[in-house]
Chain A
Amino acid sequence: MNEAEIVAAILWLALTAYAVLAGADFGGGVWELLATGPRAGDQRRAVAEAMGPVWEANHVWLIFMITGLFTAFPMAFGIVSLALYVPFTLALIGIVLRGAAFAFRAHGREAVGEASAWGVAFGAASVVAPFFLASAVAAVASGSIRVSAGRLISDYTAGWTTPFALVLGLLAVAMCAYLAATYLTVETEGTPLEADFRRRAIAAGLVSGALALACLAVAGESARALVISLLGRGFPLLAIALINGPIALAAVWLSKPRIARVAVVAQVIFVLWAWVIGMWGYLIYPDVTIDNAAAPSSTLTPMLAVIAIGMAFLLPSLWLLFRVFKSRNPAAAIPPT
């Protein structure tokens, strides 16, 4: 592995962390929107309590990816920013409204309750953001964004307006909801809410599975290159994902929330990395590669040093955060109504 590949691997790891951590926060917004039944209020409160201390830290993985991408692969950043102007702008609007709405609700609940515009904005924006981020991923992976001599030559709708992008966007939303519901069954263990979130996790898991298969089906048309790479180098991980998927769902079904949590997280990782390994070497298939987009080594070396120093502070801090707020079971304290 050369330096550029190491940085690329770190950026993919950051994307993975963002998917399993911030993804669940978006999923929390989905369940906020879909809260029903006699315990709807408690469900919303459980979402808010689970997200409160960690969502801002989870969100920073995205910032880390953006700054890392434009430092290490400036040409790739310029191209995706141009080609995916529309989906990125829509995702950004979602990210801004989701974060602001959550903070407004968390710190001013009496003034902006669930029924207020910010309550609706929180849920709706939590759907919009992952949907358009995933449709941007679809464009990058499908080979529709074309570049020649460092200039974008495809148009501004290439790749993210296809059926594949639509289904992948929906799959991302469903996976976020699946992650969130699975985490919440752990966080509400032993309360009546556990059953609520178990049912939601099963539903989201089934929908995710169906959408994942639909994705593979429609990918043949609009993302042939992705299918070929998933069936090539990515196949071992894809096969593991196909086996792990039912296992994860079974763990949810059999009320083994802790096993389910591990299995669902693993599912996200397997699917993501089947793509990463399947298309390894490419940043924007087929024209922009790790090699032809990389910043010079004189940038990458100090960047890796900054990342090493930064991680030395970051990882213990993250460990502390999750130890304080996620090792016990805060939501169990919520009294049933």
Chain B
Amino acid sequence: MDNVTLARATMGTSLGFHIVFAVLGVGMPLLMLIAEGLWLRTHDAVWLTLARRWSKAFGILFAVGAVSGTTLSFELGLLWPRFMAFSGAIFGLPFSAEGFAFFIEAIFLGLYLYGWDRLSPLAHWLTSIPIAVSGALSAVFVVMANAWMNSPSGFHLGSGGQLQSVDPIAAALNASTPTEDPHMLVSAYVVTGFVVAAVYALGLLRGRDDALHRRGLVLGMSMAAVAIVLAGITGDSSARFIYQAQPAKFAALEGQYQTQRGAPIHLGGIPIDSQHRVVGAIELPGLLSFLAAFDTNAEVRGLDSFPPGQTPNPVVVHLSFDTMVGLGILIGLVALLFWILVIRTKQVPRRRPLLWAIVASGPAAVIVMEAGWFVTEFGRQPWVVYGVLRTSDAATTAPALGPTFLVFFAIYVALAVTTARLLVLQARRSRAAQ
């Protein structure tokens, strides 16, 4: 395999691995903050037990997130030295800010995890606030940098390709930031909410019908329900922005080959490049034009209208997009059903099919989020900096990328397996101690 493919494979694997821990690093501190705060208010020990259990699990999750995030910051240079030499001065600023946010999160997490017996209850609870805030800020800053790769701004290229009038603030506040940033932030809460709910739904299914499991489930589903609605709203505005700003990505995510007024939406199906159409999709006439521009007759530019080598792979992008939207709607419906039942019966639903659906929603939410990143990253191809720098021109020329990929792949497998094993053991031990 060539260096570009290997560099993309390594970066993609690292990002796909890290992001699971990163989103939990955003969402879990908020849940811990809420649970411990409820304990301080009500003196109900169940809330404290929840917070303490989450903090133990989070000790592992945060560390794995921190080291895999370190990998990414190294890999930016190791895999894409030309990209970084070109972009560093323009989009480095949010990374620097993220460095501080991560610093604050790590410091207060040290205080939080190891300070249960050293700090007063109120002081201990207060340490959770900077963790939750800086966790969210980290995500906001990092996604600003990614948004810049989609909507590069804040610089001019001279006649010889040299950078001129660099404005890193304008780069951070690029045109993609207002849609991409909120969408990623709320997605972090979507994943955390559903994953936590899934854990406690499984406990209820196994007959552990106690206050701890019911509250864990309700807290998780609260976060999930609020966040999935916001994810829908922000995702919708994100897609409409892409229609305006990145027409090739939009065409790929909808599998639109011909430029067309009154374009239909394709639900599912596989784009076939040689036939210039999506095979096996359900077509809803005019709906794509309507969703993109609130006008059933609006023109949607097709993949065929771009010169060769300027468009992303529509198969990956379209299937990822439909996975994100389809599964996202499904887990949203699970949350809706859950809350309808809670409001009607005034108690936590115990219907087994619903609980199983919540269990499935945990991994489904992770898949939804990963699919969203597939849409963003594959949809931007063949560019690493949209319209400015091609991915193929940015990769390293260093040797031995193949072994690097294999080693890191093996490390991620080992980290994932051990993390899962330890979390299960923690849960078992906590139950035994009860």
Flag the segment in A26-34, A76-84, A175-183, A213-221 that touches B: A76-84
Cβ of A79 and Cβ of B81 under 8 Å apart? Answer: yes
Of the candidates B76, B77, B398, B400, the one having the most CB atoms from chain A within 10 angstroms of its own CB is B77
Decide yes or no whether A67 CB sits under 8 A from chain B.
Answer: yes
Closest to A93 in B: B407
Q: Is the interface of B mostly helix, strand, loop or mixed?
A: helix
Cβ-based interface call for B341 (8 A): no
Query: What's the interface size class on A, roughly?
Result: 35 or more
Q: Which of A130-168 contact B (CB under 8 A)?
A: 150, 156
Q: Is A209 an interface residue (CB 8 A)?
A: no
The complex places the Cα of A81 from the Cα of B114 at a distance, in Å, of: 36
Q: Indicate which residue in A54, A93, A104, A156 contacts B411 across the interface (CB closer than 8 Å).
A: A93
Q: Does B245 contact A (CB under 8 A)?
A: no
Residues on A with beta carbons closer than 8 Å to the beta carbon of B425: 108, 110-111
Cβ–Cβ contact A306 & B118, under 8 A: no
A172 within 8 A of B: no
* Interface of chain A: mostly helix, strand, loop or mixed: helix
Nearest chain-A residue to B108 (Cβ)? A317
Is B67 within 8 A of A99, CB to CB?
yes
- Encode A275-316 as 1/0 by CB contact (under 8 A) with B: 000000000000000000001101100110011011101100
A110, B429: Cβ atoms closer than 8 Å:
yes
Known: A60-B102, A104-B422. A66 touches B59 (CB 8 A): no
Residues of chain A with a CB closer than 8 A to B89's CB:
71-72, 74, 295-296, 299
Residue B167 lies at the interface, judged by CB distance under 8 Å to chain A? yes
Complex Cα distance, B181 from A227, in Å, reads 49
Contact stretch, chosen from B90-98, B199-207, B228-236: B90-98
* B81/A67 in contact, CB under 8 A: no
Alpha-carbon separation in the docked complex, A112 to B426 (Å) = 12
Q: Does A262 belong to the interface (CB within 8 Å)?
A: no
B82: CB under 8 A from chain A? yes
Contact B114 A53 (CB under 8 A): yes
Query: Is the pair A303, B93 in contact by a Cβ cutoff of 8 Å?
Result: yes
A77 CB contacts on chain B under 8 angstroms: 77, 81, 84-85, 88
Verify if A246 is at the interface (C-beta below 8 Å from B): no
Q: Does A56 contact B (CB under 8 A)?
A: yes
Tell me, yes or no, whether A332 is within 8 Å of chain B by CB: no
CA A96 – CA B56 in complex, angstroms? 20
Given A60-B99, A92-B74, A96-B68, check contact A53 B113 (CB 8 Å). Answer: yes
Per-residue CB contact flags for chain A residues 30-63 toward chain B (1 = under 8 Å, else 0) read: 0000000000000000000000111011011011
Q: Which of B103, B165, B169 has the most CB of A within 10 A?
A: B103
Q: Is there an interface contact between B90 and A85, defined as CB atoms closer than 8 Å? A: no
Nearest-CB residue, chain B, relative to A297: B166
In the bound complex, residues from chain A placing their C-beta under 8 Å from that of B267 are none
Residues of B near A95 (CB, < 8 A) are 67, 70
Residue of B nearest to A62 (CB): B70
B87 proximal to A (CB < 8 A):
yes
List of B residues within 8 angstroms of A115 by Cβ? none
- Check B84 against A118 for contact (C-beta < 8 Å): no
Asked if B346 is at the interface of the complex by the 8 Å CB criterion, the answer is no
B426 engages A107 (CB within 8 Å): yes
Query: A104: which B residues are within 8 A, CB to CB?
Result: 60, 418-419, 422
Bound together, the chains give a CA A82 to CA B76 distance in angstroms of 11
B170: min CB distance to chain A, Å: 10
Interface bin, chain B = 35 or more
Residue ID in chain A nearest B429 by CB atoms: A110
The residue on A at minimum CB distance from B74 is A92
Question: Contact at B103–A71, with CB atoms within 8 Å?
Answer: no
Given A67-B73, A92-B71, the answer on whether A56 and B66 have CB atoms closer than 8 Å is yes
B49 to chain A, nearest CB (A): 17
- Does A70 make an interface contact (CB < 8 A)? yes
Which B residues lie within 8 Å of A103 (CB)?
A: 59-60, 62-64
Interface check B163, CB cutoff 8 A: yes
Identify which of A185-193, A196-204, A231-239, A318-326 touches chain B.
A318-326
Q: Look across to chain B and name the residue whose beta carbon is closest to the beta carbon of A295.
A: B89
A59 to chain B minimum Cβ distance, whole angstroms, is 7
28 contacts between A and B (CB under 8 A): A52-B113, A56-B62, A60-B99, A63-B103, A67-B73, A67-B98, A71-B93, A73-B88, A74-B86, A74-B89, A77-B77, A78-B84, A80-B77, A85-B396, A88-B78, A89-B78, A99-B63, A100-B64, A103-B59, A103-B60, A104-B418, A110-B429, A112-B422, A302-B168, A320-B107, A321-B110, A324-B119, A325-B110
In the A-B complex, the 10 residue pairs with the smallest Cβ-Cβ separation, listed nearest first, are: A71-B92, A74-B88, A81-B77, A78-B85, A103-B63, A310-B100, A295-B89, A85-B398, A108-B422, A70-B88
Interface residues, chain A, with chain B CB atoms under 8 Å away: 52-54, 56-57, 59-60, 62-64, 66-68, 70-75, 77-82, 85-86, 88-89, 92-93, 95-97, 99-100, 102-104, 106-108, 110-112, 118, 150, 156, 295-296, 298-299, 302-303, 306-307, 309-311, 313-314, 317-318, 320-321, 324-325
Known A-B contacts: A66-B73, A85-B399. Give 7 more (CB < 8 A): A77-B77, A77-B88, A295-B88, A296-B89, A306-B100, A320-B107, A321-B111
Name B's A-contacting residues (CB within 8 A). 56, 59-60, 62-64, 66-71, 73-74, 76-78, 81-82, 84-90, 92-93, 95-100, 102-104, 106-111, 113-115, 118-119, 130, 163, 165-169, 396-400, 404, 407-408, 411, 415, 418-419, 421-422, 425-426, 429
